[in-house]
Structures are given as structure tokens and as C-alpha cells.
Amino acid sequence: MAAKDSGRRAMLGGGAAMLAAAPALPAAAQGAGANTLQAIRDRGELRIGVAPGEPWFFRDQRSNEWHGIGWGVGVALARELGVRPVPVETTWGNAVAGLQANQFDVMFVLDATPQRALAIDFPSQPMFFYAQGLLVRPGLTIRTWEDANKPELRIGVVLGTSPDRDVTARLPRAQIERFPSADETAAAFQAGRVDAISLFHPALVMLRARVRRGTVLLPEPFRAAATSAGVRREADKSWRDWLGLAMAHMYTTGETQKIYEDYLTFRGIEPGSAPPVTRETWQNRG
């Protein structure tokens, strides 16, 4: 998950919850000369960092099993390697340090930011994409961002987040209402105090399921962001490079999108009502 939108992560705990600068460790502590790919195969386990936050990672309290797009991708890649996926609980703020300390082998849905790239590695291929969107009240039709740039429209955002900064610049004529948290933003929408909420779209999909009101839209021009997977920095790049190629294959064959849709179904959300995590689908829509 991702430092593009701290508000989205505050709500979801997701992909890039907050941009935490991890302390740099000596090269030896970062696993110089190690081979994580071989270690995974020798161990027979792929250790996956998991941090609660939908739709990236979610633990079912009844079964104690993990679900979500991050976990689903990890399970699929473990199957390709012929090993067992093992969840290792962490937090988004501690994900970089956990990788450096060799607590787990990968953290999915972690955005590749310049600060994080000083401490850990990321594959060059993205895992999937999300776009800044709007959850709009019933009866409100918006196709472009300019359609929302009207004095009578009230747009709710989480204070200080990427969507806050973006809509402030993009929608100078709209009324931008700022709230301390995503939960408070959602409450304002549910009470009718704002006409729309702007977050990255997977967060909006989960929020829509909670408030049971409105429609999730991706106005044009699209503001897309890629997410990735963090791995420990080491001299041997076999694990990083294999992971990137495998994630790219899953994305292009539609497997990543299917994992997302399966999770939405698991949570009682109709997949057809949610924008996909494939950028090409947004761009090719009629």
C-alpha cells in the first residue's frame, strides 16, 4: 500500500498508511550477500507482512484467516514457488523496519516512495493501480473533475492528505470541507453535510459498503497512483526481480483484479459496482 494518501491509509490502514522514514541499517544488517529467494524455498515458507486495513489485509475473527488483495497475491505467489504462505503481523509504520530486520520476506501494497527506497528495495513493475475518486450522494452526476468545480458542491476530505491538496488545487470554486479523520468525513457524508468525499478509490469502495449510500466515481482526467511490494535490500536481486515479473504477470493476466473482486464478494460488495485496480480499464471505458 503507499504514501500517496495518508488519509486513505488512516482509514484503511492500507497500502501506504503513512510515510514513515525507517532508520538506515548497515549493509550487513540489510542482508548483503543473502539470497531471500533461495531462503524461501529452503524454508518452504513465504513470510508475508500483514497489517490490518481493508481491502489490503483483513483477518476474519471467526476463522482467524487472512483475506484481502495483498494477502491473496501473496498466496498466489507462494503457490507458484511451491511453498506455504505465512502471515507475520506488523503495522504500516513498522513495515520498512520489519523488512530490514528480516521479520518477513515481503510487504505487499507498500508504495515505492523516495524515502522508503533509501532503506529497502521495490520491484520496477507495479503491483496494481488506484485512482483518486469521489463518493457522491445519490442523484449527483459527475464525469469530470470540472463537473465538481461548482460553488454549491461540498467536497469532504481528510485534512492534510493528498486528496486534500489535490482537490484544493483542482476545484477552487467548490466548498472543500476538511475533517481530522476518514471516519469523521464518512459521518459528515452520511449526515448529508457534504455532497461527496474524495479518497483513493479502493478506500471509497469500502467506505461505501459501510455507509450504504452514494456511488463511487473516477472523474476524468484520472489521477492514478501505482502501489508496489517492499523487500529487504540485499546484494542478490533474485527475489526482487522474480517478484516483479510475477506481479506483472498476475496483473496482465487479470489475476490481480480477480483477487480484488473475490475479496469484494467475500465482504458482500458487488464487484461490478467498484472501479477496478487496472488502469487500462479506466482509460478504455466508454
Q: Where are the domains of the chain?
A: 6-127+228-274, 131-217
Find the helix or strand (DSSP H, E) in which 248 lies.
Answer: helix 238-252
- Domain 6-127+228-274 shares a fold with domain 131-217: yes
Residue 43's pLDDT is what? 96
Domain 131-217: give its CATH architecture. 3-Layer(aba) Sandwich (3.40)
Homologous superfamily of 6-127+228-274: Periplasmic binding protein-like II (3.40.190.10)
In eight-state DSSP terms, residue 63 is T
C-alpha 203: how far from chain center: 8
Residue 15's pLDDT is what? 39
C-alpha 257: how far from chain center: 13
| pTM for this entry | 0.78
Residues 6+ apart with CB under 8 A from 52: 13, 58, 59
- Angle (CA) 265-269-272 rounded to 5° is 90
* CB of 7 closer than 8 Å to CB of 14: no
Write out the chain's pLDDT in tens, 286 residues.
444 443 333 333 343 333 333 444 443 344 445 799 999 999 999 999 999 888 999 999 999 999 999 999 999 999 999 999 999 999 888 999 999 999 999 999 998 989 899 999 999 999 999 888 999 999 999 999 999 999 999 999 988 777 888 899 999 999 999 999 888 999 999 999 999 999 889 889 988 988 989 999 999 998 888 999 999 999 999 999 999 999 999 999 999 999 999 999 999 999 988 889 998 887 665 4
C-alpha–C-alpha distance, residues 263 and 266, integer Å: 5
Helices (H), 136-232: 162-170, 182-190, 201-211
* CB of 46 closer than 8 Å to CB of 77: yes
C-alpha–C-alpha distance, residues 201 and 5, integer Å: 11
C-alpha–C-alpha distance, residues 198 and 97, integer Å: 31
Residue 280's pLDDT is what? 85
Angle between helical axes of 238-252 and 255-266 (0-180°, round to 10):
70
Residue 153's pLDDT is what? 96
CA-wise closest residue to 89 among 60, 49, 59: 49
Angle between helical axes of 69-81 and 255-266 (0-180°, round to 10):
130
- Print burial letters for 116-140: b (CB count within 10 Å at least 16), e (below 16): beebbbbbebbbbbbbbbbbbbeee
C-alpha–C-alpha distance, residues 171 and 151, integer Å: 9
* CB of 81 closer than 8 Å to CB of 46: yes
Q: What is the CA radius of gyration of the chain?
A: 19
Residue 50's pLDDT is what? 96
C-alpha–C-alpha distance, residues 145 and 241, integer Å: 38
CA-wise closest residue to 82 among 44, 50, 42: 44
Taken as a whole, the chain contains a residue count of: 286
Q: Scan for cell 523496519, then name that residue.
A: 97
The single-letter code of the amino acid at 18 is M
